[in-house]
Structure 1
Amino acid sequence: MTLSPPPVATAPARHGIDVGRLSRLITRERAAYAAERPRSAALAEEARAHWHDGVPLHWMTDWGLPFPLFVAEAHGSTLIDVDGHTHVDFCLGDTGSMFGHAPAPVVAAIEAQAKRGMTAMMPSALVPEVGRLLAARFGLPFWQITMTASDANRSVIRWARAATGRPNILIFDGAYHGAVDDTHVRLKDGAPILRPGLMGQVWDLREHTRVVPFNDLAAVEAALADGTVALVLTEPVMTNIGMVQPAPGFLEGLRRLTRAAGTLLAHDETHTISSGPGGYTRLHGLEPDFFVLGKPIAGGLPAAVWGFTEAVAKAMTAAREATPGYSGMGTTLTANALAIAAMRANLTEVMTDAAYAHMIALADRLAAALEAVVARRRLPWVVTSVGARVEFMLSPTRPANGGEAALIGDAEIEGALRLALIRRGVVITPFHNMMLIAPTTTRADVDRLVDAVDAILGEVVA
């Protein structure tokens, strides 16, 4: 009688990753990170005396590191920390420096303008030219400037309500449009809820915000049916909950339904500007009533723009004439001369067709290489991309909406990868495994990232 060998014990796995190996990797990498960065450790401890959690913005603790990585300088796609370690940067300020750190034309424009004054709450001589540049590039005739995309989205919501006389807005489940109160509503089991973790919210945002699944035109039609929705606010591709692509015909159907309902449509392209020089909207010939672009528009300076159609402009004028006085929108430093100068330089010399051709070609190379790594390691992961923006998702299939995307991911696995990559001189975004290609990124940079990911996975794959 032949006895079968006893079964071999196997370690538990998540998303194709061996949990035991992962735990050992994390322990080792955290200790090595701390040992290699004594200056960052000292600054982190010193900062705790006067900064809450030791940082001036709590997002800076979201990297999952033993302590924050303090930056000494950044140029192009290179980031150097205070301990002298050089990193290839694929985070790029989470899109804020999408066209590279300190682009030379923008730096020169800032230096020149700073000597002539930075803010006066009056238009500078460059304002007409920048308006023409925005209209020509993005296809909407009228524009306004704010300090951030959050401010721009907030203004668009307020003006849409004023122009239509309607109280409600519609967003998509899982959307993120910055620090705008009205947009912090999600779906849970099909019912709207306040976004989990929302601090200090004292009134019920669901009173005037409706939320439906992305890619669901029937749900959109039902939500617009009573004629009280002033605005649909959306990204053309959802990006802040992982990447969710629009289904064929969805964006065209959304435009058709909003027009039929007398509802205005806004495209927030703060992240999807990675698609091309005119964003996803211009690339695909879409026709929103509003267009929002923040973060990278002024080459890294705080600035955002929002554009709108002639019909919207007329409705805004009529609303203003009917209700004169303080609009409740705007800030003193908005549209300052420094930001206008930086925006002009960025639009004319940095955000060029040639730059985008380089960025998108390298992003395609990165996506293909990561797909090959995932396939070779037999991981149940997918790689997604929109122009110069690439992400990997811990799921065997791509999500169709924000609800599905919210179920994807593993904070421990993704945090371990980020930490191990930083130790190998590569930085990716601490949200949704996102990587950006800048005009200054090289093929060698991409290959370095792919090789590092492959090597790390080799240590932890089940």
Structure 2
Amino acid sequence: MPIVREKLREFKARESAAYRLSRPLSAARANQENGFFGGVPQHWMLDWPMPFPLVVQQASGTSLTDLDGHVLTDLCLGDTGAMFGHNPASVAKAVQAQASRGLTSMLPSADVEEVGSLLQARFGMPYWQITLTASDANRFALRAARAITKRSKILVFDGCYHGAVDETAVNLTAGQTVAKPSLWGQAYDLAAVTTCVPFNDVEALAAAFVPGDIACVIMEPALTNCGMVAPAPGFLDEVRRLTRAHGTLLLIDETHTLSTGPGGWTGTFGLEPDIWVAGKAVAGGIPTGVWGFTEEVKLGIERVRAEIPSGHSGVGTTLSGSALQMAALRACLENVMTETNYAAMITGAIALEDGITRLIAHLGLPWSVIRLGARLETVFAPSLPTNAEQMRATFDYDLEAAIHLGLLNRGFLVTPFHNMLLAGPSLSREAPAAYVAALNSILNEII
């Protein structure tokens, strides 16, 4: 059954009016001059498909309460920043305890040995560094890769997302590597430092190695930000084979694919990266990124450091590796990122997947669903895309916005772009069916 555009416009107008009427306190905040650009601390908070920003009063587990007292089931969870739920008790307790002992000193804290062991055991890499964000972890790791290999370029896949790293913020347009429109004020041609190829395209990847100038391939094991795209069978094996054959380092960024399982995609499927990165959720919501690396990379970094005067060993950020981060990391790795919590998350995601799939079939919609562990997405196409170009062809921004707003008015907060959902460990058994019922009520008004 097709979407009726006139019904869609009418539905969105009704839902916008209902949102405004039910949130007078958030509306009043939106109309005040508060010193922030657009009234929000980050401009992208204005990108949500709602008439004005929702102001959060409190968050716990998989629930948010807004300023007007509405309790929402949170299926966004900070776009994975709160993947394991808001305010995990053990992390909150660790942060409170550490606050009484000092937050940062630019020196290692007593938790370092235990955190290092936990990272080794969980994610497999023998050596680790701590940053404030996954963006920083990627940025520093790419610098290390260039320094070690003495090559100038990195390779990314079209549709990738690696945070606020300039050279990864590219699209493949008409066969050319170009900066994303959202990368404001870019000062140089990113094609000079970055090669972009289609995901799941082994032939294009092999051709990109021919010039011999690729220092590092940085990739998500599955695309997660242009819409979710899974790797084709054997593709990740080919990436590893080709990088080794050409002396190129392989960086796996699992910031979003931590939803796959306790060891991420790498642990679940036995990948063998040279560098491994994660952020957002690893410290339970405290700003933290981690990057781990092999013995060979460690020796390369040591060679680079040996050429630099002591005290000036490289660019970093002063707050990275703070006592606060280490305490939160330890608590999250020990008590939050557990097999039990992952099992609950994936069970909830499967229930959502099954319910949405049945609804799509019942309504006769030419849509499909993809799930990566605890994270899933509805795709407006009858079969799943295999690269970013195919995924972009499925986008329907007006439909997305209407669905998101309708879900919000029915008690569900979802990711503000595409149709991604994340099931937290405390998601109730009733929530998936309630979500599907809410989605059904929306779709019945627009088809």
Same fold (TM over 0.5): yes
Indicate which of 290, 294, 300 corresponds to 1:315.
300
Decide whether the 8 Å contact of 1:169 with 1:208 is kept in 2. yes
Partner residue, 1:65: 50
Could you tell me how far 1:190 is from its partner in structure 2? Answer: 1.5
Instruction: Pick from 394, 404, 428 the counterpart of residue 390 of structure 2.
Output: 404
8 Å Cα contact 2:177/2:190 also seen in 1: no
Q: CA deviation at 1:323?
A: 3.5
3-state SS in 2 of match to 1:452: helix
Letter in 1 for 2:413: V
Aligned position for 1:365: 351
Q: Which residue of 2 aligns with 1:180?
A: 165
Q: CA deviation at 1:227?
A: 1.6
Question: Shift of the alpha carbon at 1:49?
Answer: 4.0
Instruction: Find the aligned partners of 1:295 and 1:196 in 2 and give their Cα distance.
Output: 24
| From 150, 156, 171, the counterpart of 2:141 | 156
Secondary structure of the corresponding residue to residue 160 of structure 1: helix
Is 1:250 equivalent to 2:235 in the alignment?
yes
1:352 partner letter: T
Superposition pairs for residues 381-396 of structure 1, below 5 Å?
381-396=367-382
Distance 1:76 1:388 in 2: 15
CA displacement, residues 244-275 of structure 1 (integer Å, 9 cap, x when unaligned)? 11000000010000000000000000000000
Deviation at 1:328, TM superposition (A): 4.4
How far is 1:196 from its partner? 2.1
Unaligned stretches of 5+ in structure 1? 1-14
Q: Distance in 2 between matches of 1:328 and 1:404?
A: 40
- Tell me by how many angstroms 1:324 deviates: 3.7
Cα deviation per residue 1:92-130 (whole Å; 9 max; x = unaligned)? 010000000001101100111101111111110001100
Say which of 38, 41, 51 aligns to 2:27.
41
Q: Which amino acid aligns with 1:137?
A: R
Give the deviation of 1:327 after TM superposition.
Answer: 4.6
Aligned residues: 446
Q: List per-residue Cα deviations over 1:362-396 (Å, max 9, x = no partner).
A: 21111111011111111111111100001111112
Which residue number corresponds to residue 453 of structure 1? 439
1:238 equivalent in alignment to 2:223: yes
Structure 2 unpaired stretches of 5+: none
Give the RMSD, CA atoms, in angstroms. 1.1
What residue identity is the alignment partner of 2:389?
Answer: G
Tell me if 1:430 matches 2:429.
no
Aligned to 2:81: 96
Alignment partner, residue 256 of structure 2 = 271
In the other structure, the counterpart of 1:281 is 266
Moved more, 175-184 or 77-86: 175-184
1:166 aligns with 2:116: no
Residue 54 to residue 378, structure 1, CA distance change in 2 (3 Å): same
Residue type of the partner of 1:237?
A
Q: Distance in 2 between matches of 1:365 and 1:227?
A: 47
TM-score (norm 2): 0.98
Q: Which amino acid aligns with 1:291?
A: W
Deviations 1:26-63 (A, max 9, x none): 111101100100000111112x4411111110111111
99 and 145 in structure 1: CA distance in 2 versus 1, 3 angstrom threshold: same
Matches within 5 A, 1:138-149: 138-149=123-134
Say whether 1:376 aligns with 2:366.
Answer: no
* SS of structure 2 residue aligned to 1:211: strand
SS of the counterpart of 1:137? Answer: helix
Residues 1:111 and 2:67 aligned together: no
Give the alignment's TM-score, normalised by structure 1: 0.95
8 Å contact kept, 1:244–1:400:
yes
Equivalent-residue separation in structure 2 for 1:327 and 1:189 (angstroms): 41
Identity %: 51
Residue 135 in 1 paired to residue 120 in 2?
A: yes
Q: What CA distance in whole angstroms lies between the structure 2 residues aligned with 1:200 and 1:122?
A: 36
Corresponding residue to 2:278 among 293, 297, 308: 293
Distance in 2 between residues matched to 1:197 and 1:271, nearest whole Å: 20
Contact 1:236–1:280 (CA<8 Å) still a contact in 2? yes
